[in-house]
Amino acid sequence: MKRVSEVKPKTFEVTDKATGKRGVILSADQVRWIAANQAKVETGWHTSGRGSTFGTCLVEKQKSGWVVVYYAVRGVS
């Protein structure tokens, strides 16, 4: 995962500055804590003109870090 500052946005494409590979933009808008190690996150992503989706993720903190354990799609374009 890269920060937005590490990519080179183009008109219909997001490109990693270091590798030149295409990528997606992921946003995490609203976080609702369920417990200290679990939260629901309103998310969205887009592939620079090739499609997008938004929905709700259930994330849990595990030994390896935060992990998406469930994703409910609410819309696609």
- Residue 44: per-residue pLDDT: 85
Residue 4, classed as helix, strand or coil, is helix
Q: Which residues contact 58 (CB under 8 A, 6 or more apart)?
A: 38, 39, 40, 68, 69, 70, 71
Specify the DSSP class assigned to residue 24: -
CA-based R_g, the chain, Å: 14
**Would you write out the chain's pLDDT as a tens digit for each of its 77 residues?**
666 666 665 555 677 878 888 777 778 889 999 999 999 999 888 776 667 788 999 999 999 999 999 999 888 87
CA distance 33 to 65: 16
pLDDT at position 48 is: 62
Instruction: Return the pLDDT at 56.
Output: 93
